[in-house]
Each structure stands twice: as C-alpha cells, then as structure tokens.
Amino acid sequence: MLSVLRNRTYRHLFTAQVVALTGTGLATVALSLLAYDIAGDRASAVLGTALAIKMVAYVGIAPVIGALADRLPRRALLVAADLVRAGAALALPFITEVWEIYALIFLLQAASAAFTPAFQATVPEVLPDERDYTRALSLSRLAHDLESLLSPVLAAGLLTLVPYSWLFAGTTVGFLASAALVLGVVLPRPVPVERRGGVCAKAVFGTRLFWTTPRLRALLALDLAVASAGAIVFASTVVVVRDHFDRPAGAVSLALAAYGAGSIGAALFLPRLLRHVTDRAVMLPAAFALPVVLAAVAALTARPPSTGSWAGILAAWAAIGAASSAVLTPGGRVVRRSTADADLPAAFAARFSLSHACWLLTYPLAGLLTTEAGLPVTAAVLGAVALASATAATAGRPAHDLAPPCRVPALRRG
C-alpha cells in the first residue's frame, strides 16, 4: 500500500491531508472545552448546533465550489482553503460569545467543504493507474481512522503541558503546514466545462449526475446505509456505555476504538481484495452486513448487561467499522469510473454534499430515538433504514457491472 507514496506529488498531498486531519482533531477537543467555558451546562447544546452548522456548510457549500472548481487553479483553491481554516482556528481562542463560535465554525467548515472535494478530485488525476488509486483510497481511509484514535490521545498529552487554547495553535500550524505542502507541488490543470445556466446550473450538475447515473445513485443509497449504522456509533455510544452497561468514561473511548480498529483492518485488506473482485462484490455484501449487526445490537441492548453482552457490543462496533470502510473506501473508484475527467470536481463535490446530507438525517434520528424510545428501538429502526438502503442499492446498481475492476475503462459510464 505504501508504494504509492513514491509519487512525490501524491506524497505531498497525503502528508498535507494527515497534518490537516491532526489539526482538526486537536480543534475538536479544544472546541468542546471552549464551549464549556463560554456556555457552561449548555455546552452540549452549543456543540450540537455547531455540528449541525458543520453539516449545513458541507451540504450547501460543496456543490457551489464544485461548480467553480474548473475555473480556479487547483493548487490555489486548496491553499486558500487551508489559509481560511488556519485563520478561523487562530481566532477561536479569542472569542467570548456563543454566536462567534457559530460564525467561525461555519467559516472553517465552509473552507473544508471547498478543500475536501477538490482534494478528492485531484488524487485520481495524480494517480491515473487503477491500483495506485485504490491504494490511495485505502491510505486516506486509514488516515481518517488513525486520526480519530490518536488525536484525542495527543490532545490529552498536550493538555498536561499547556492550556487548551494552545490546541487551536496546533490546529493553525497543521493547516499552514498543509498549505505549504500543497504549494510544493505542481497539480494538474482543471479542464474548463461550459454549461448553460452558469454557476447555478453547474452547482446542481453533480447532483443531477448522481440521480441520472445508476451506479452513482446506488452509491448514494450505500452512503445512507453507512450513515444509518454510523449514527448509532457516534450519537449513542456514550449512552450505550454509560447508561446501559454502567461502564466508566474511559470505556467510551474503548468502544470508539473498536469501531476504528474494524475500519482500519478493512482499509488495510481492501487493496489486495479489490485486485481480484469487483467493487460491487465488496460493497453490497458489506452494506447488507450493517442491518444484521444492528439487529444484533438491538438484541444485546434489550437484555440485561453482562460481560458477554459488553464483548458483543465491542465486536458489533468493530464490525460496523469494517463494513462501513468496505463500503466507503471503493466509493472514489465508483465515482471515477462513472464520470468524465472534466466532471470529476462536480461529481466529488456532489458526493461530499449528498453523503453528509445522509448524516444530517441519521444523526438527529439516532439522538431522538435513543432519548425517546431506547437503544433497542434505535438500533432496529436504523437497521431497517440500512436494509432498505442496501436493497435499493442492489436494485439500482447495474447488474452487468461484474468485470474485475482493473479491466473496467476509467471513463465508463454506468
């Protein structure tokens, strides 16, 4: 997998992604402490609103940036997004009002909504070989999972030495380092695409592309399946651990680590597997595994807690992580094969926006059901959503899409 890092341009891009992710992880911890300082016992509400603002920025901004991406130098766009993120992070320690948190979070996440799809569209252009691109997708998944595991540990270590406000300085340094790394390489020039209707028409083009292309429409259904299972992990783990199993706070990290370990394991294994089977043969079974695991979670949380059921929850979280990784990691290959080169920025921006719209639906659903109906009902309902999504993806994914991935033309439309 690491052989792809021999490509100097990709090595710079990947390192930029890693340092930016680390900075984002530090900011997540620091923002929680900042919200508590400003809002006290209302900190959870403030953070919940900030999360909603993040998703709204992702859903609303990404298509607009995707519409403009072919007009802007790719390197300048990435560097500008990093500089905006660095400025927002640097300003966060100096704010004193809740509304200022919301404003800066929107600015920071809007810049991320510009950076991420542009980055995703650049990688297949830098790595045109199918196997190299697959390795890059797995490395990207691995970087995200390791960040979720290691950033809290790094933040905890730094907090023993410095006040939490200094974590924002670490975030700023991460974004500035990312910008410097991108500046150090030459990126492919975007291909201008003329469409009637100007920016508005181009902004909706990616969404229309997903709706009219069967393979991409199926991919969106798979994203909803992943969001359904992931929502119970990220929104309900603390309730599962603290209320149902009556475990200490450290057990929350253990449960989330189990999810991350499952995702990392799948990401490491996928490049070799995808050399021999199709994306479809990996993604669809993984999607159908999600409702099965959620049914097991419903059963485990419906019975009195025990050592065995706790071990079962950890195994379930690891299984959700592995299945989610098996669905998400090949997704970039699906977008690449279903889209012309000139349309890649719009397509990746649309996927970024639409996939986060799925999370915007499932996050509040998981939170509401956990509070009002309990964990077994939450797992059952989200499992039903995941099952319906996986079934829709199976019905919508072209049945002829069975050739080994290395033999499928890169610009083939599904």
Residues 143 and 248 in one domain: no
Buried/exposed code over 38-54 (b: 16+ C-beta within 10 A; e: otherwise): bbeeebeebbebbbebb
Closest of 233, 24, 56, 324 to residue 148, by C-alpha = 24
Residues 184 and 222 in one domain: no
Residues 58 and 186 in one domain: yes
Residues 172 and 53 in one domain: yes
Residues 97 and 236 in one domain: no
φ, ψ of residue 111 in degrees (nearest 5): -65, -40
Residues 244 and 139 in one domain: no
| Alpha-carbon span 343 to 366, nearest angstrom | 35
- Mind spelling out the 3-state secondary structure of 16-37? HHHHHHHHHHHHHHHHHHHHHH
Query: Where does a domain end: 192, 207, 229?
Result: 192
Residues 177 and 246 in one domain: no
Residues 330 and 342 in one domain: yes
| Alpha-carbon span 328 to 154, nearest angstrom | 26
Closest of 290, 411, 291, 251 to residue 341, by C-alpha = 411
Residues 225 and 307 in one domain: yes
Domain of residue 382, CATH code: 1.20.1250.20
To 10 degrees, what angle do helices 375-396 and 279-302 make? 160
Query: Where does a domain end: 165, 192, 219?
Result: 192
Please say whether the beta carbons of 391 and 259 come within 8 A. no
Residues 185 and 230 in one domain: no
Query: Where does a domain end: 160, 192, 224?
Result: 192
Residues 299 and 358 in one domain: yes
Q: Which domain holds residue 134?
A: 1-192
Q: What is the pLDDT along the chain (414 residues), one digit of tens a residue?
A: 577 888 899 899 999 988 988 888 788 778 867 877 887 767 656 766 777 788 888 887 777 776 666 677 888 889 999 999 999 999 988 988 888 888 998 999 888 888 888 888 888 888 888 888 888 888 888 887 777 767 766 776 787 788 888 889 999 999 999 999 999 888 877 655 555 555 566 667 777 888 888 889 999 999 999 999 998 888 788 788 888 898 886 687 788 888 888 988 898 888 889 888 888 899 999 999 999 999 999 999 999 888 889 999 999 999 999 999 999 989 888 888 888 777 777 788 788 888 888 988 888 888 888 888 889 999 999 999 999 999 999 987 665 554 433 333 333 333
